[in-house]
Amino acid sequence: SIIDFHIGGFIKKLIGMIKYVCSNMDSKVTELQLLSALGISRTALAYALRVLEKVGYIDYKQEEDLIIVNILKPSRQNFEELIEYT
């Protein structure tokens, strides 16, 4: 079967998860938590985080399995502005 994958929806879901992590989890999440919630590979997660970092939306660092992420842009950032980079 073919999986219908839309990059815009994926990035939007990841941004929502990052906002939750920053607000409710002291900006810390395990890689496994993100992978499980998104149903993606480690490589896909690494690329997605890198894209969000490159466009200036987040700053993050990874320490073993722990990802520490901070949002750099305002919470009301227009998601459509990020689409052109995906």
Q: What count of other Cβ atoms lies within 10 Å of the Cβ of residue 58?
A: 20
The model's pTM:
0.77
Give the residue among 51, 72, 60, 57 at the shortest CA–CA distance from 28.
60
CA atoms of 21 and 46, how far apart (whole Å): 17
* pLDDT band, very low/low/confident/very high, at 1 (cuts 50, 70, 90): very low
H or E segment and range at residue 4? none
Give residue-wise pLDDT tens across range 11-57: 889 999 999 999 999 999 999 999 999 989 999 999 999 999 998 89
